[in-house]
Amino acid sequence: MLFGRIGNGGARRRLAAFCLALVCVLGVAAQTPVTARAQVEITAPSAILIEASTGQVIYEKNADEQRSPASITKIMTLLVTFEQIQAGKANLEDEILVSEYASSMGGSQVYLAQGEVQTLDTMLKCIAVASGNDASVAVAEYIAGSEEAFVKMMNDKAASLGMTGTHFVDCCGLTTSDDHYTTARDVAVMSRALITEYPEVFRYTQIWMEDITHVTRQGSSVFTLSSTNKLLKRYPYTTGLKTGSTEKAKYCISATASKDGIDLIAVVMGAQDPKARFGEAQTLLTYGYASCRLYRDDAPPALPVLEVKGGLEDSVNLAYERDFTYLDLEGLNFEEIQKEIQLPETVQAPVIQGDTAGYLVYSYRGVELGKNGILYEDSVEKADFGDYLRFAFQSWLFS
């Protein structure tokens, strides 16, 4: 017998009550989603973990503390460069002539020689894979004419992203100046902008090793780029992004990973050694994937055509602003998420394309989770007196 012989009625009743309570507890546990929200321990002085599509913070520690970033500065260098490519002001096949100044950069480098020519595509590999300071400066000079002018572009971009705890003085992070600083939160912000706006960056950051060819007056030679991001071999979901280290900054990383449709960004700053940097980034990513699920609305409600009053057109089409996602850290039942379209019955002309007409609101058990903008798909001009006369004439003519 499981519990042995029960000798009296009182004991049997107590056992029955215990078993009933146990069944109830197990039943509730079976129906309740379980999330791994155990506290994570990070020894680095500053860190943050966010989900990329929503920007939601999952974990943070001293995330607004200003620190020297070392080579994770190059995340902004890459972001500004990809922005210029998208704007048509640079092309991956463009040939970049290496200046004496660029070739003189110390620290991590790919040993570009003065007068050497490499394509922008190759230079991006040198920056993203091997963290080449010389390649970073060469690209900065090509894009903006000088490193100083490029750094201004970096700071302008940081300001536009709301990176209030950041200021750059170079494009590679080699400087030891106290005026060159950022925060873990700001690193996450620029990392998120880079990977969401320009996912093609992963074509570079996922390279483990690749050869490039130096062609100089002394002839040609093969140089092997080797990734500074050891997580590519240690953590199977790694997609990037950038490491950095100097005596002042210690060891830093912005690590990106993708698993089950969820992209996470883990930033660790000021770790004491490379092992701690990679280990704690992996700890954060593992914690994140154990703690969260991503809700994606792949089937939002069909939108109506909105009636327009006083316009040259009597209606306007609508479109959703974006794909809606919500990061769940509480174990919600996604089937219970409710959607409500909030729109006026009519709108008065003029209507401007891209302006907000209303919202699709998402809620769970009466609590709002978020909302997605509903935009005007077209513009509708306001009708004047002459337009009304024309409408009346057309109506009479075809009646």
State the amino acid at position 373 in one-letter form. Answer: G
Report residue 42 as tokens.
């990070």
Phi, psi angle pair for 120, to nearest 5° = -60, -35
State the Cα–Cα distance between residues 297 and 292, nearest whole angstrom: 16
Sheet of 238-246, strands arranged across? 57-61, 46-51, 262-271, 250-259, 238-246
| The CATH fold of domain 46-291 | Beta-lactamase (3.40.710)
Lowest average pLDDT, out of 18-22, 50-54, 212-216, goes to 18-22
| pLDDT tier, 385 (very low <50, low <70, confident <90, very high otherwise) | low
Cα–Cα distance for residue pair 240/204, rounded to 1 Å: 9
Mean pLDDT of the chain: 89
Q: What is the DSSP string of 247-262?
A: TTTEEEEEEEEEETTE
Q: In the prediction, which pLDDT does 14 show?
A: 45
91: left (phi over 0), alpha (psi -120 to 50) or beta: beta
Where are the domains positioned within the chain?
A: 46-291, 306-385
pLDDT in tens, 118-172: 999 999 999 999 999 999 999 999 999 999 999 999 999 999 999 999 999 999 9
What pLDDT band is residue 23 in, cutting at 50, 70 and 90? very low
User: Which has more confidence, 399 or 175?
Assistant: 175
* Residue 383 binned pLDDT confidence (cut-offs 50, 70, 90): confident
Q: Is 74's pLDDT higher than 70?
A: yes
Dist CA 345 CA 182 (whole Å): 48
What lies within 8 Å, CB to CB, of 168 at 6+ separation is 73, 76, 151, 154, 155, 158, 180, 182
E strands in the chain: 46-51, 57-61, 95-97, 117-119, 209-216, 219-226, 238-246, 250-259, 262-271, 293-296, 306-309, 315-316, 318-320, 325-328, 337-342, 346-348, 356-364, 367-376
Tell me the two tokens of residue 341: 């379209």
% of residues, the chain, pLDDT over 70: 87
**Tens digit of each residue's pLDDT (9 = 90 or more) over 258-313:** 999 999 999 999 999 999 999 999 999 999 999 999 999 999 999 999 999 999 99
Q: Which of 377, 369, 291, 258 is nearest to 324 (CA)?
A: 369
Dihedral (Cα; 139, 145, 147, 152), 10-degree rounding = -110
Q: Which distant-in-sequence residues (6+ apart) come within 8 Å of 256 by Cβ?
A: 52, 191, 195, 205, 238, 239, 240, 241, 263, 264, 265, 266
User: Cα(173)–Cα(252) distance, rounded to whole angstroms?
Assistant: 11
Which of 361, 363, 385, 384 lies closest to 373, judged by CA? 361
Nearest partner of 371 among 382, 380, 360, 384, judged by Cα: 360
Query: Is the distance from CB of 111 to CB of 209 less than 8 angstroms?
Result: no
In this prediction the pTM is 0.83
Catalytic residues: 71, 74, 131
C-alpha separations of 387 from 233, 381, 383 in Å: 68, 11, 6
Asked whether the beta carbons of 378 and 317 are under 8 A apart, the reply is yes
Backbone angles phi, psi at 338, to 5 degrees: -105, 150
Query: Residue 48 and residue 281: Cα distance in Å, rounded?
Result: 9
The DSSP bridge pattern shows strands 306-309 and 337-342 to be unpaired
Is the pLDDT higher at 91 or at 4? 91
CATH 2.60.410.10 describes domain 306-385 = yes
- What is the structure's pLDDT at 20? 37
pLDDT reported for residue 230:
96
Phi-psi category of residue 29: left, alpha or beta, with phi > 0 → left and psi -120 to 50 → alpha: alpha
366: left (phi over 0), alpha (psi -120 to 50) or beta: left
In this prediction, residues 81-102 reach a mean pLDDT of 97
